[in-house]
Structure 1
Amino acid sequence: MKNIFIDCEMTSLDSNGELISLGALYIDDNGNERTFYAEFNDYDASHSNQWVIDNVISKLKFINYDFKNCVTTFPGTNTIKAVEMKGSTKAISLRFVEWIQDVGDRCIFVADVGHYDISMVFNMLGGAFSLPSNLSPAYTDLNMLIAIDKTLNVDQAFDLNREKLAGDISSDDKHNALFDARVARVIYYSIMKSN
């Protein structure tokens, strides 16, 4: 089973939370990075606290667009290399399903403290019984792997700086969903190589 590293930014971490952005990353058998990045245009920003406004919404890539849809394929193929879009939850859901299906391999999501991300994405996709046939309804939680690898409890693992764990990656893109998915990938493979 192959990994799709996923991260979401949302208006809040409660039952009223709505997706702001979604980033996903998959590495194919040839080592090619395949990415999905979407910003939602139908969330209610008033549900966001000041931290979300300052650290997520103000840094969105397509903040000045109402809609965007750009699909890049590998040269000479119909294989999707990258999707960048801004749109409604429905439009993003349809495009994300297409991207997952285009991956082809049986996949599982890997997310850092993923219960928020996975719940929202599965809801967006229509629930666990409506997922693309090549996507597992289970997921791998990176925070749990960090806790096991570092012999910490999950709260201690949660408090560790992810960019430092990934080798001091620093970027103005922190809290960009695709950047965070890339950081998760680096940490995941670092843990897998050490065990």
Structure 2
Amino acid sequence: MTKIFFDTEFTGLHKNTTLMSIGLIDEFGDTFYAELTDYDESQVNEWLRENVIANFRLNDQQAGQFFVEQDELSLCKATTIRATKNEVNTALILWLANQEVRKGPIQMWSDCLAYDWVLFNDLLADYTNGYPQLPAQIHYIPMDICPLFEMKGVNPDISREEYSGRKASYWTGSKHNALHDALTIKDCYYKLQNEDPTA
């Protein structure tokens, strides 16, 4: 089963929250990063402006555009999009379908994922039958690194950046950028498992 590590940024810790951005990285290094243009701006407070929006990588001129870049050395692909929720849904379904063709069924991993998983389902799931039906290649049980910290004897309240050693970068921004946080989750997972993700 292929592991995909993901994170979301959203407009608040409440039931009416809306998705602002999502970042995913598979265990082989391919990434998907989206900034949504139709989140509920009336819910945005100063903290979100300073910590989330300030870490967005794309600008308004790139709205509706879809980019795929390939690293010449690693051959990893980076997919980015700034668009509406419906457009991001379409792009992410395509990206996930590519993952399945190349690597098999998908196990989703996040960190303290209560809101992340609900928003992931809201973005991707088909609710025609009255319950969320995710794309078939995604395993219906998400995995959370938070209890993994505890099982490995590490305080689950530790700073993820401190534990993983991940620094801010031009490419992924810093903490509270969804792609940066997804990369940090991946780094923490492999450190907790004492595995080298590049092996």
Class of the TM-score when normalised by the shorter of the 2 chains: 0.7 to 0.9
Residue 109 of structure 2 contacts residue 145 of structure 2 at CA under 8 Å; is this kept in 1?
Answer: yes
Q: What amino acid is the match of 1:72?
A: E
The residue number in structure 1 matching 2:142 is 139
Deviation track 1:12-51 (CA, whole Å, cap 9, x = no partner) reads: 12111111100000133xxxx1110000000122202221
Which structure has more strand as a fraction of its residues? 1
Which residue does the alignment assign to 1:59?
Answer: 55
Indicate the residue corresponding to 2:164 in structure 1: 166
Higher mean C-alpha displacement, 89-98 vs 60-69: 60-69
Which residue of structure 2 lines up, in the alignment, with residue 180 of structure 1? 181
Is 2:9–2:52's contact at 8 Å kept on the other side of the alignment? Answer: yes
Any idea what SS the aligned residue of 1:160 has? coil
CA distance in 2, matches of 1:143, 1:27: 18
User: 2:106 matched to which residue of 1?
Assistant: 107
- Provide the rounded CA distance (Å) in 1 between the counterparts of 2:45 and 2:149: 28
- 1:106 and 1:52 map into 2 onto residues whose CA distance is 34
Query: How far apart are the structure 2 equivalents of 1:64 and 1:91?
Result: 15
Aligned residue runs from structure 1 range 1-195, under 5 A? 1-28=1-28, 33-65=29-61, 66-72=63-69, 81-104=77-100, 105-127=104-126, 129-150=132-153, 152=155, 157=156, 159-167=157-165, 169-171=166-168, 172-193=173-194
For residues 22 and 180 of structure 2, what CA distance do their matches in structure 1 show? Answer: 10
The one-letter code matched in structure 2 to 1:145 is L
SS in 2 for 1:185: helix
Percent identity for Structure 1 against Structure 2: 28
* Matches of 1:58 and 1:72, distance apart in 2: 23
CA distance in 2, matches of 1:74, 1:57: 26
TM-score, normalised by the number of residues in structure 1: 0.85
Deviations 1:150-177 (A, max 9, x none): 265xxxx2x311101102x221522111
Scaled by the length of structure 2, what TM-score is found? 0.83
CA contact (8 A) 2:7 2:116 kept: yes
Quick check: 1:71–1:80 contact (8 Å CA) kept in 2?
no
